[in-house]
Structure 1
């Protein structure tokens, strides 16, 4: 068993090339891991290609990391990656892609809402010429109408305000060629919204629609605040349109305030109307103050991103990367796309 420890990024020379890497970022998913490995094995073994399962533990505290080490000790197709703490899904996903060595890389969530049985169809699309195979959700079983509606609206908002097309109703579940993965790995930014980066790198893309299943076990780790934060991260990472909206709102507020003030002056001079007094003043002041605070907060989001990028800290820190040595018979010729 080999172990690579404490490097922010693993050395390329330590990788064993395979045809397919399946990258699975996870956090506190111990309950679903046995089923995940069983289904992946059932799907991948009949394909007759070399593969690896890059399972990235993002600082779990439910025993997920220990379980991965145990499985990696007895199964050479499993690469157990443990981060030094919880860095977030986007960082864990980036770590998995850095460690992966496959000619093709599939990204899959540990909860099995995205069926691994579709990997064969994804590989066929890649062989037909696609560098990226995007999986579009046709239905979302096991999710509330509120979450489905908010996701529907968010993807369409992102598509409108971005200067490039971000596919609608797609998550992280997708396949990428090695050159697409290398392009993603070369991006230096620390504030990452992966769904946007997948689209930003371009390359020929094929879309497959599928029905999303309910979670196989455990509970979602995303709460309302987390989803709002992810949405804000996506919007501010790929568009400056919100800043323009804030400017437009400020201009509108100034115009309204000026018109209201002019109306009061004209009424007092020509008609002798008494000045309305404190209620109208407080209403206008409160409105303008709200616009200013909103604009300053929005500007702060962009400035904060710049601040963190200038620090140039690594996106993640590895605790260890563990994999058992492969036998010669276990490393057939990698897949050619």
Structure 2
């Protein structure tokens, strides 16, 4: 029988562990004739009793496993660790706060049986979110699709069901700076998306705030677009062109109606000329250096302090 690996990244989710298991177990019963479930919780350095709650439910369930990080490394690292630990024929990533509807797995599995390799999910609205966050989120997807070759659906979630082949392809990418939404799209394969109404967290408060989401969006821009570096290149080029125009204007004015304060105009144009050339050169060099710097460090993306996995892993 086919196996489904359910990866659950957790950071301070002690109140949500029991409700999540209660809901997902109902879906497991409905799919028990088709799939064997295994649950891989990834404790991302939680400071509450998240790990203790996971250990409690593991005592009564032989298909629940976990990894616990030495500190908080971020959701990207947690998802990566979960995918590496999984052995299922199909893999899904879900949040423990039940904002990802477990019952949607039934429709997602039907789509997989139709021949799709990735079944993603998207929120059709952002009910309950702060207005400023919703506006910036919509703006992110519009800008991302404008400046990047990778196209992403507005409202895209990490909650997805993937085949083993897709996950193996994702794991073959050894890049340090990971942006999973972009990676899932970049690897290709036959994909489809299911929409659902936004849901509030069952308990607790999200660890994602406006500034952390803003930083995360910049990771997407940097990893899948050169637009930020192109700003330096084009600003330098524009400054250089304006300085040339300024020089021509000053020369023409001097020859026709006379000049202004002696030395001022020439000094400003020289500064603009040199500054423009410098920005242009720095921008070009930055295109190469930025791609090399972070990847050459080869730092591990996480450290596992404690784990409980299947004996065959």
Which of 109, 114, 117 is the aligned partner of 2:95?
109
Q: Assess if the C-alpha contact under 8 Å between 1:115 and 1:212 holds in 2.
A: no
The SS at the match of 2:258 is coil
- TM-aligned CA deviation for residue 278 of structure 1: 6.7
| Alignment length (residue pairs) | 310
Which residue does the alignment assign to 1:24? 8
In structure 2, distance between residues paired with 1:280 and 1:67: 71
Of the structure 1 ranges 98-107 and 119-128, higher mean CA displacement relative to structure 2 is found in 98-107
- Offset at residue 281 of structure 1 (A): 7.2
Q: Aligned in 2, Cα 1:44/1:302: closer, same or farther, shift over 3 Å?
A: farther
1:154 aligns with 2:132: no
TM-score, scaled relative to structure 1: 0.82
Q: How does 1:169-188 map to 2 (within 5 A)?
A: 169-188=155-174
Contact 1:72 1:323 in 2 (8 A): no
Q: How far apart are residue 65 of structure 1 and its match? A: 1.7
Stretch deviating more after TM superposition (38-47 or 84-93): 38-47
Structure of higher RCO (CA pairs closer than 8 Å, 6+ residues apart) = 1
Residues 97-154 of structure 1: per-residue CA shift (max 9 Å, x gap): 1111211111112222221110100000001100100112211221112111111111
1:260 aligns with 2:215: no
Q: 1:269 aligns with which of 235, 255, 260?
A: 255
Partner of 1:144: 130
Q: What SS class does the counterpart of residue 212 from structure 1 fall into? A: coil
> Is contact 2:145–2:151 with CA below 8 Å preserved after alignment?
yes
C-alpha deviations, 1:38-71, integer Å up to 9, x for none? 1111222222131011110111111212221222
* CA RMSD in angstroms, aligned pairs only: 3.1
Q: Deviations over 1:161-189 (max 9, x none)?
A: 22233333212111101111111112111
From 181, 194, 217, the counterpart of 2:180: 194
1:274 shift after superposition: 1.8
| 2:14 is aligned with 1:34 | no
Provide the secondary structure at the position in 1 that maps to 2:237.
helix
CA distance in 1 between counterparts of 2:11 and 2:30 reads: 29
Task: Tell me the CA shift for residue 85 of structure 1.
Answer: 1.6
The whole-number CA distance in structure 1 between the counterparts of 2:13 and 2:219 is: 24
Q: Which consecutive unaligned segments of at least 5 residues does structure 2 have?
A: none
Greater Cα shift, 71-80 or 114-123: 71-80
State whether residues 235 and 276 of structure 2, in contact with CA within 8 Å, keep that contact through their aligned partners in structure 1: no
Per the alignment, residue 330 of structure 1 pairs with none
Corresponding position of 1:13: none
In structure 1, what is the equivalent of residue 27 of structure 2? 43
The runs of 5 or more residues in structure 1 that have no matched partner are 1-16, 327-337
The answer on 1:232 being equivalent to 2:222 is no
Which stretch has the larger CA shift, 283-292 or 127-136?
283-292
8 A contact 2:69–2:306 mirrored in 1: yes
Which of 180, 195, 201 is residue 215 of structure 1 equivalent to?
201
Q: Cα deviation per residue 1:196-242 (whole Å; 9 max; x = unaligned)?
A: 11011111111211112112221121223312221111111112233
8 Å CA contact 2:3, 2:36 repeated in 1: yes
